[in-house]
A and B are shown apart, each in its own frame.
Chain A
Amino acid sequence: MIFRIIKFAFQNFYRNFWLALVTITILTVALFSITALITLNVIADKSIKSIEEKIDISIYFKKDADIQRILATKMEVSKLPEVKKTTLINKKDALNWFRQKHQNDKAILSSVDILDENPLGDVLVIKAKNTNDYQKILKFLSEKKYDDIIDRRDFDNKDHKEIIAKINAIKNKVRKIGYIIIGIFSFISILIVFNTVRIAIYTHRQEIAIMKLVGATNWFIRAPFLVEEVFYAFLSSMILISVFYPLLNFLEPHLNYFLNYNVDLLNYFKNNFFLIFGSEFLVISFINVFSSFIAMKKYLKV
């Protein structure tokens, strides 16, 4: 019986080739728009992450601070769950690092040059796991016990705080907008797919009635159509994959150049292949089967 159902499904497919082609095209376009939106979301996310990665806080120790206490402070900060990485820069390297960091600020550089000796102490550069965590880390370092060894914290700078806050706000907004757009597009795509399947079934309405009059059970009629719908979903997913990867391969170098950052989209889609394309196939199959089921119900009442 299963063999018979599959055979009928494939017969339906190639004997209604143009209808099948139109259905598959619409399904592929719907899947492509969703995947394109996911791609845009990934690009936005990765771009923000690249900015986030450039953010850190610097703790400037006093020139005469005890190295043992500085090392102990580094250890304590490293143990905080919010901290991703800590780097201790000694006085000499700190000066070079400071010059590099402010290479575009001539006023700061010339004021450093005027001084006879190195004005800096050791510097602890801290990178947090999340930009929201910097305030917590700073709060930890604001404890009184550190006052006698810490000279200043560059995160106290108001501009710095504002930039982080803005990045966080942008990040959250971009994510929110991304999800909303994907949601709206998914909804529109579902409606389009639902109606496409309904039209496809509508064209078969007389056949369905005839099958019923000849004595076929509802499931004997339904099953080939449902198998056919899953086959449509499979084919459109395959077409999507075979178009999407070469397109991504072509676009990625241009994107990297444009964003001045390696977004590594190919790798992202490679690592999440089954999650993205597998889910898309399952969801579109479900929508197809569900739409088909609903659309056929009416014509089976013979």
Chain B
Amino acid sequence: MVELKNVSKIYPHNVVGLKNVSINIKPKEFVSIVGQSGAGKSTLVKLLIAEERPSSGQIIIGDWDITHIRRSRIPVLRRQIGVVFQDFKLLPQKTVFENVAFAAQVCGEKNKKIKELVPKILNIVGLEDKSHRYPQQLSGGERQRVVIARSLIHRPKLLIADEPTGNLDSINAKEIIELLLRINEHNTTVILVTHNKEIVNSLKKRVITIAEGEVISDKEKGRYIL
């Protein structure tokens, strides 16, 4: 599903983002990528959604080599990957319904289908009764559910969750992780990027640990080792 072959990302002034990273994630897997702040987790996410380009190496998503992806093709890639951000990245001037619908509208989905699809997705994340609210009228946990709903609208095969519980209390964080697990049960590959030890240990799934831009551990049913 996702393959990184000897990927390095060097920023100006020789700042190392990632160094010689090779990862292979299979379809339908649930993988946690852990590491301390500045370890290179965010760089990895940015490379996967083509927000950054690797300095060297190769990145393949599905059958698509995105290493040298053209600018005009980036929107097409992003429509096939669901991304959940720590800071939500919701459109403040749009309602919950409109935020979720927007991700479908950019794909050129018809209004009729959007009107059918959005309530269903909002139902999955438990926000069907808050569809007309604006993001600022929701709690942190609710906002993150909207983000998940938005990322699911085009039924992605890959969902990347970048510190999705970073801004949430433990109860909300647990609910979000449960939601991600349910999504994974429906055959969506999930990459969870986090530094939350409790969550990683409770999952008992594959854990890839990154430190100073390098993969230092990759274990099935792993634990948070840092």
The segment out of B58-66, B87-95, B173-181, B205-213 that lies at the interface is: B87-95
Chain A contacts with B in 202-219, Cβ cutoff 8 A: 206-207, 209-217
Residue total for A at the interface (Cβ-Cβ under 8 A): 19
Contact, CB under 8 Å: A220 / B92: no
Segment touching A, from B15-23, B105-113, B186-194: B105-113
User: Which of A9-17, A156-164, A286-294 contacts the other chain?
Assistant: A9-17
Q: Inside 8 A of A213's CB, which chain B residues have their CB?
A: 49, 51, 78, 83, 85, 89
- Name the interface residues of B115-142: CB closer than 8 Å to any CB of A: none
In this assembly, does A1 line the interface, its C-beta being within 8 Å of a C-beta of chain B?
A: yes
Chain B: which residue is nearest A302 at the CB level? Answer: B51
Give the shortest distance, in Å, between A180 (CB) and chain B (any CB): 43
Answer yes or no: B102 CB below 8 A from chain A CBs: yes
Most buried by A among B77, B93, B150: B93
Q: Is the CB of B93 within 8 A of A214?
A: no
- Chain A positions within 8 Å of B154 at CB level: 215
Q: Which residues on the A side are within 8 Å of B51 (C-beta)?
A: 213, 302
Question: A14 — nearest CB in chain B belongs to which residue?
Answer: B93
Residue pair A216, B75 in contact (C-beta under 8 Å): yes
Nearest-neighbour CB distance to chain B for A19, whole angstroms, equals 10
Q: Are B108 and A207 in contact (CB under 8 A)?
A: no
Roughly how many angstroms separate A16 CA and B91 CA in the complex, as a whole number? Answer: 13
Interface size on B, residues (CB 8 A): 24
CA distance A14 to B90 in the complex (A): 19
- Interface of chain A, main secondary structure: helix
Q: Is A16's CB under 8 angstroms from B93's CB? A: yes
A 177-208 contacts with B by CB, 8 A: 206-207
The interface residues of chain A lying within 8 Å CB-to-CB of B106 are: 211, 214-217, 220
| Distance of A200 from chain B, by nearest CB (Å) | 13
For the complex, is A254 an interface residue (Cβ under 8 Å from B)?
no
Tell yes or no: A298 within 8 A of B by CB: no
* B157 CB-CB contact with A under 8 Å: no
B103 contacts A by Cβ under 8 Å:
yes
Min C-beta distance of A238 to chain B, whole Å:
25
The residues of A that contact B103 with a CB separation of less than 8 Å are: 214-215
Give the CA-CA distance A210 to B85 in the complex, in Å.
Answer: 10
The answer to whether B28 has its CB under 8 Å from any CB of chain A is no
Q: Residue B150 contacts which of A4, A12, A214 (CB distance < 8 angstroms)? A: A214
What are the residues of chain B within 8 A of A15 when measuring CB–CB? 93
Q: A4-B105, A216-B106, A220-B106 given as contacts; is B93 within 8 A of A211 (CB)?
A: no
- Residues of B with C-beta under 8 A to A220: 75, 106
- B19-39: contact bitstring with A at CB < 8 Å (1 yes, 0 no)? 000000000000000000000
A147 to B89, CA, bound (A): 93
Given the complex of chains A and B, what is the CA–CA distance between A29 and B154 in angstroms? 46
Residues of A contacting B78 in the complex (Cβ-Cβ under 8 angstroms) = 212-215
Chain A residues lying within 8 Å of B94, measured Cβ to Cβ, are 11
Q: A15-B93, A207-B93 are in contact. List 9 more A-B contacts (CB 8 A).
A: A11-B93, A210-B89, A213-B49, A213-B83, A213-B85, A214-B150, A215-B76, A216-B106, A220-B106
B interface residues with partner A (beta carbon < 8 Å): 49, 51, 72, 75-79, 83, 85, 89-94, 102-103, 105-108, 150, 154
What are 15 A-B interface contacts by the 8 Å CB criterion? A16-B93, A210-B91, A211-B91, A211-B102, A212-B75, A213-B49, A213-B51, A213-B83, A214-B102, A215-B76, A215-B79, A215-B154, A217-B72, A217-B106, A220-B106
